[in-house]
Chain A
Amino acid sequence: EAGVAQSPRYKIIEKRQSVAFWCNPISGHATLYWYQQILGQGPKLLIQFQNNGVVDDSQLPKDRFSAERLKGVDSTLKIQPAKLEDSAVYLCASSAQGALGEQYFGPGTRLTVT
């Protein structure tokens, strides 16, 4: 079974630029999550999708962050414009419906904003 795929693995941008991350979840997983993991901290949920609908985006800074999951499969997370404090690892995870906390994580995208 293929795992959660993410790209790119690394990205360096200047502040005020925009960036996009891509995630392909495990086939058949209805729920998709984007997390932000700042160095030295645990992952923090940004947004959760159930199929192509948003379940929870209460922690997403909507003035600069956006996410979509068209057709209920792949997802993209965008930051525009980026700030220095956005430097972090962005993790995508997916889970089967009803699996509660059993989430499968991708390797993450390490973003550095200079």
Chain B
Amino acid sequence: GEDVEQSLFLSVREGDSSVINCTYTDSSSTYLYWYKQEPGAGLQLLTYIFSNMDMKQDQRLTVLLNKKDKHLSLRIADTQTGDSAIYFCAESIATDKLIFGTGTRLQVFP
């Protein structure tokens, strides 16, 4: 079945690293994505990882994928106040249809 779960809330100090976690249930997922949603705005694609990869790094973002545990994480290095937003992980299964998680609200304080 299709189900993507995330913790609801994360609070970090500016300059620290943030780690947002996600678990999914469908082992046939082909791509996994991280989207960011700022207040009053639509979702913005941050990064994605193909299911046969373990890690992907893109500037301050590092995505780790553990296929055995069906666990995906997004690490943001040197977190800034502008990173405060809701982060959604999503999976796709051989198509362009996305199944989104519930979202994790990241709050960055000075």
Instruction: Spell out A's residues near B (CB within 8 Å).
Output: 4, 31, 40-45, 48, 56, 91, 93, 95, 99-108
Q: Does B102 contact A (CB under 8 A)?
A: yes
Q: Are A101 and B31 in contact (CB under 8 A)?
A: yes
The CA of A50 and the CA of B4, in the complex, are separated in Å by: 25
Q: Are A93 and B96 in contact (CB under 8 A)?
A: no
A41-B102, A42-B101 as given contacts; A100 in contact with B31, CB under 8 Å: yes
Q: Are B100 and A105 in contact (CB under 8 A)?
A: no
The CA of A102 and the CA of B33, in the complex, are separated in Å by: 9
Give the size category of B's interface with A: 20 to 34
Q: Are B42 and A93 in contact (CB under 8 A)?
A: yes
Select one of B4, B33, B42, B103 contacting A105, CB under 8 A.
Answer: B42
Instruction: Spell out B's residues near A (CB within 8 Å).
Output: 4, 30-31, 33, 40-45, 48, 88, 90, 92, 96-98, 100-103
Q: Are A48 and B102 in contact (CB under 8 A)?
A: no
Closest to B30 in A: A100
A101-B48, A105-B42 as given contacts; A42 in contact with B100, CB under 8 Å: yes
A40-B102, A101-B48, A101-B92 as given contacts; A45 in contact with B40, CB under 8 Å: no
The CA of A8 and the CA of B41, in the complex, are separated in Å by: 14
The CA of A107 and the CA of B92, in the complex, are separated in Å by: 22
Hey, which chain A residues are within 8 Å of B96, CB to CB?
31, 48, 95, 99-101, 103
Hey, which chain B residues are within 8 Å of A93, CB to CB?
42-43
